[in-house]
Amino acid sequence: MFKPTEQFAHELDQQDQLKQFKNEFYIKDDHIYLDGNSLGLMSKRAEQSLHHVTEAWKNDAIGGWVSGEYPWFYLSEDLGKQVSSLVGGKPEEVVVTGSTTSNLHQLVSTFYQPKGNKTKILADELNFPSDIYALQSQLKLHGYDPDEHLVRVKSRDGRTIDEDDLINAMTDDVALIILPTVLYRSGQLLNIEKLTKAAHERNILIGFDGCHSVGVIPHHFHEAGVDFAYWCHYKYVNSGPGGVAGLFVHENHFDKTPGLTGWFGSNKEKQFDMEHTFTPALDAGAYQIGTPHVLSVAPLIGSLELFEEAGIEQIRAKSLHATAYLMYLVEKYLLEYGFTIGNPKEDERRGGHVCLEHDEAASVCKALKDYNVTPDFRAPNVIRLAPVAFYVSYHDVYRTVQILKEIMEKKVYKQYKNERDVIA
């Protein structure tokens, strides 16, 4: 399937149906950016849409709320309709709002309704810390001890979570389940359909954190019956640092009043009646708490244009091919230097990044940066490399592996301390 030569990398690039999109992004000459799973690069379209919105503010002032190409009053819902194609939701089930963690607080405050002995929240021990902090906080607000009521399913290998272990933990005392779509360290893709079906068979609501999958993996949240989901847009969706997040609520739950209510969750026709009785929107828009962060959401307008042109299925196909190619080259050139692959190798279980493990991972990452390659370090020993379909070429992947080989052969990594910087 693959060949270990540089010429083969060039051949793959010639066949790449998405290769033209690299020109849409700002990337320094001779630089390889493999950290799009933490922060995506700026696209020229995102820059243009940000400029468009600032011009509307400059020229229209308050009129920008209801006039122009992107009226701000409806922006969160309109963008939600576009994002819905990335997550497999109906247009009315998705809204662009808040941050990942504020959306999680909103959703848990809505869907966590402890009753009788059904009081526990189920998560996993490899989950991203912010999610765990939010769940601990929500339990405390209900008067429960997180040590007793937050169940974290253990990993068998320190890298992945077995779906059967999760299902076995879905006991009668569990009221709510919060899981990642993709584990942030290892890149394991969980079987969302299987887990949702198992949860519902046990009368448990289930929600997913899609931060490490939305924009690189097609989802089918509505069809799978997922109760709710939440995610950021600044990783694979390239909306910029602090970009506004998104959430999905299945239409089966549109009769619920959000746990945290705010003015912008109102029915749009009633919002400016200024009544002290909350009349929620009849869709996911009800889950907005505050005024849309218009300037922070503006780059998403341009970014989504690229997804519409490329198609999420094609993005996933290239991502799978590029990560498989990267793993092939690692096995060909790097195993003798102590590297291991920590992510699942099967396509159906792999997210958008490759998880390389090495005892000197932090120092190797520092060396890579001085070779103009941007990786991502996660303690204690993980190098995450994301060949993002839009702007990472196959030749970039090949060069990265050759640079890693040189770093190890010449022991360049020994020049650096094997400890993370303030921001890893």
Q: Is the pLDDT of residue 145 over 80?
A: yes
- For the chain, give the mean pLDDT: 97
Q: Is the pLDDT of residue 100 over 80?
A: yes
Within 63-128, residue ranges assigned H as helices are 75-87, 100-111
Query: Quick one: average pLDDT of 76-96?
Result: 98
Is 130 flagged in the annotation as binding? yes
Is 396 flagged in the annotation as binding? no
All domains of the chain, ordered by start, with CATH? 6-30+311-415 (3.90.1150.10), 49-308 (3.40.640.10)
Phi/psi for 173 (5° steps) reads: -95, 5
Is 212 flagged in the annotation as binding? yes
Phi/psi for 39 (5° steps) reads: -150, 115
Residue whose pair of structure tokens reads 């966590």 in the numeric block: 112
How many whole angstroms separate alpha carbon 192 and alpha carbon 182? Answer: 10
Query: For residue 237, which amino acid is it?
Result: V
421 versus 380: the higher-pLDDT residue is 380
Is 299 flagged in the annotation as binding? no
Contacts (Cβ under 8 Å, ≥6 apart) of 264: 76, 97, 271, 288, 289, 290, 291, 292
Residue 307 in contact with residue 83, Cβ under 8 Å? no
Is 100 flagged in the annotation as binding? yes
How confident is the model at residue 222, as a pLDDT? 98
Is 234 flagged in the annotation as binding? yes
Is 250 flagged in the annotation as binding? no
Q: How buried is residue 278: exposed, middle or buried, by Cβ count under 10 Å (0-12/13-18/19+)? A: middle
DSSP 40: P
Is 5 flagged in the annotation as binding? no
Q: Above pLDDT 90, what percent of the chain?
A: 98
Is 110 flagged in the annotation as binding? no
Q: What is the pTM of this model?
A: 0.97
